[in-house]
Structure 1
């Protein structure tokens, strides 16, 4: 039996499954027969046999041995944790097909939360994102069929289908009184991992939607292009956006961190199996030459995204801003079985350089920034000193009243959707402000050091 490690969150549909090839060394992992015999729980097996016999003899309808054994295996594995599961031959074939990304899907990553199919993150530029699906949404029906009682794999299979066909999801969302339906047309999902643009002169922006095998190379190309767009001058700072990034290839996450740090540990994994104990270290070279970085995260940032955020935070290389991340700190191995099926089994936990396990905890941002609605933004920016009762007058007004002089209009940063950045993406707006402040401090410190 051979195994491959994965860092994706729960089940994936509508885009390539993130497989970290060779993240765990392939080996013949069949246990030693003598060791197995010495640990066989005979009393428990007698109970299992008794139950099996009773069901076969007395259940209201006949049930095949294969169905009973499949159900027993699924029950055993599914009760371990939300990310371990058993796949029969057909399901394993489906998983292998997803690695090509050439099938109809929605562009979602989902998991089980309190036995409800829950959206971990919608993926950029996919039907699900365009339909307004959000991280944290609970899918309670698929085409009118209740998802309660369905396991993750069956729910995912229902949501897949031919490109161009439509599916209706019934959603329960926090803050919305009633469940509501969203109809989405399936499509071939080909996700572009990295996008980049200039936010302001000298300040770049890179968005990583998910970690694919070529993400590090794509990011290097993006950084070089940003420098060209900055008249071939070094960047003053970078916003790295990992919001709603559900994870992906381990080596890609390591490569992204290695792009910005010169030395030290990036991440390590630890489990019972010797091959699950790995560590990854940085190499000399920082493509930003020490320029400040702000990393944006939220509750949809998971797995490999958390590796990046945690490593840069521990190193002190970046300021993490946004909301606490998802908290998936485990590694799954895909183990093919003799019947043509496979086992997806949690085999290790990963840790940040300082030894933090983010499993169930997530990465806490250095600066907490929530995504505000326009009404909230107006409240934040509408109150001025002159609005406060009893404020003292401005002596420069020559006794002509206490109104502040008319200010020159502030240049509005326009987002890609044509709206002011402060309205369309408040977290990015604040991230840019933090980055500018960090750049000023870095410039001042460099000046003092030079003197």
Structure 2
């Protein structure tokens, strides 16, 4: 499973390369022609642009022949050709790859949100298996695996740089089966063993709740085919629970590894009335796309604070870039992952396809975030709030004084924090986001509800 940004567009590609012919013989110069030396070296005809050099073809066939003849074990032609195809694509970028039936099924599962495994998104980086993000409420997240971790062993066997696809396949398996990963956390020098059980991962890509009356928390874990519809339903439910228009919302895209381009556009559109969302540009004309927002904002202009981190990648960065550049959201957290490319799945036959990087994408301001990521408006350190086991000195208040006047709202005991309060106590970034949201809401003039015609245009 890889960090991905996919478009459901299939391009017809011509795959036959132009071959450079042998250079024609050089004609002898006419007698007395002073412009050509008498003992000239034959000039090699220039290789046409986009042609395959015959020297490269000869080198490939020579290496192929040597492997067939001299490798210590007999290797069949099919295995060698498959390895050549995989190597051809792996040499392009980390996201282009050759897909067999299992990999196609895995990709389909990712975009529909159900599969058997650990709930972990990984990426092949310089011969290592790097964690992009654990999926919410998955075995990986519960075991403490985090974005940026490196998987060095699986069930005691080292992850081999030349077989990372095989290592990825081992992460999946029968629900209930055991697996142990040796994981090297960021800024640590010694890996730790993490034991887990595989589960059927059913990913609801959108969750939400009220942090306080009027202030909503929206969590998008990845961008699936139905993420936009899930988001609309969740906001409508929170509006109903609040019994009044929401005063603001926190949109949490931390450790969101991406997903479908179309879903990222749809989610961005839900918070924008107008403006460019994203543009894509590639070598093919079909890769040049531009997406614009349509009228209608689910929050009716209420302030929006977005949380991002180094696990916010791909499609999630499209949303972050769109809302930041259109001045619709305040970004808080850490610099994002920096995947600014688009992949297209190109079928070869019923059971094989190529996932090929076909375009770069650009934020509304025309910037490519490739490798650079998106810098938040407010940078937050990776901190956690902690609570003392006991106060160093007793806290004295009016209610602790003898014979104090009884207050109407005093109650019979101390107030116990609710679940939302406990989450805020544990989550430093979320606590800061809520504080910023309240500050924005205090100076925000409530917008009139969107008209029915505008809502209908959202589809």
- The 2-side partners of 1:149 and 1:33 are apart by 30
- The 2-side partners of 1:47 and 1:33 are apart by 17
**What residue number does 2:227 align with?**
215
**What stretches of structure 2 of length at least 5 have no aligned partner?**
22-47, 393-409, 449-459
User: Could you tell me the TM-score, scaled by structure 2's length?
Assistant: 0.80
- Indicate yes or no: 2:67 matched with 1:55: yes
- The 2-side partners of 1:225 and 1:369 are apart by 30
For the 8 Å contact 2:20–2:53, the answer to whether it is kept is: no
Decide which of 164, 179, 186 is 1:174's aligned counterpart: 186
* CA deviation vs aligned residue, 1:32-65 (integer Å, no higher than 9, x gap): 7779996232221011111111221122222111
For the 8 Å contact 2:306–2:320, the answer to whether it is kept is: yes
- The 1-side partners of 2:190 and 2:353 are apart by 39
Decide which of 172, 177, 188 is 1:165's aligned counterpart: 177
Secondary structure of the corresponding residue to residue 248 of structure 1 = strand
For the 8 Å contact 2:6–2:344, the answer to whether it is kept is: no
- The 2-side partners of 1:346 and 1:196 are apart by 33
User: Could you tell me the TM-score, scaled by structure 1's length?
Assistant: 0.81
Q: Compare 119-128 and 144-153 and name the one that shifted more.
A: 144-153
* CA deviation vs aligned residue, 1:290-316 (integer Å, no higher than 9, x gap): 111000011111111100110000000
Decide which of 302, 319, 333 is 2:344's aligned counterpart: 333
- The 1-side partners of 2:259 and 2:7 are apart by 7
For the 8 Å contact 1:111–1:152, the answer to whether it is kept is: no
Decide which of 97, 100, 122 is 1:110's aligned counterpart: 122
- Indicate yes or no: 2:30 matched with 1:28: no
Decide which of 429, 437, 440 is 2:439's aligned counterpart: 437
Return closer, same or farther for 1:288/1:243 CA change in 2, 3 Å cut-off.
Answer: same
**What residue number does 1:401 align with?**
none
Decide which of 327, 351, 364 is 1:316's aligned counterpart: 327
> Shift of residue 222 of structure 1?
1.3
- Indicate yes or no: 2:427 matched with 1:425: yes
Report the number of matched residues.
398
* CA deviation vs aligned residue, 1:124-163 (integer Å, no higher than 9, x gap): 1111111111111100001111113244421111111101
- The 2-side partners of 1:138 and 1:244 are apart by 15
- The 1-side partners of 2:340 and 2:20 are apart by 29
> Shift of residue 249 of structure 1?
1.6
For the 8 Å contact 2:283–2:359, the answer to whether it is kept is: yes
**What residue number does 2:30 align with?**
none
- Indicate yes or no: 2:278 matched with 1:275: no
* CA deviation vs aligned residue, 1:386-432 (integer Å, no higher than 9, x gap): xxxxxxxxxxxxxxxxxxxxxx9x9897545x73613x101000000
> Shift of residue 370 of structure 1?
2.3
For the 8 Å contact 1:103–1:163, the answer to whether it is kept is: no
- Indicate yes or no: 2:367 matched with 1:356: yes
For the 8 Å contact 2:309–2:333, the answer to whether it is kept is: yes
Decide which of 340, 353, 365 is 1:342's aligned counterpart: 353
- The 2-side partners of 1:151 and 1:304 are apart by 27
> Shift of residue 286 of structure 1?
1.3
Q: Aligned Cα RMSD in Å?
A: 2.8
Return closer, same or farther for 1:413/1:370 CA change in 2, 3 Å cut-off.
Answer: farther
> Shift of residue 337 of structure 1?
2.2
Give matches, 1:42-441, under 5 Å. Answer: 42-88=54-100, 91-92=103-104, 95-96=107-108, 102-231=114-243, 233-338=244-349, 340-374=351-385, 414-416=418-420, 419=422, 421-422=424-425, 424-441=426-443
Q: Compare 61-70 and 161-170 and name the one that shifted more.
A: 61-70
Return closer, same or farther for 1:31/1:327 CA change in 2, 3 Å cut-off.
Answer: same
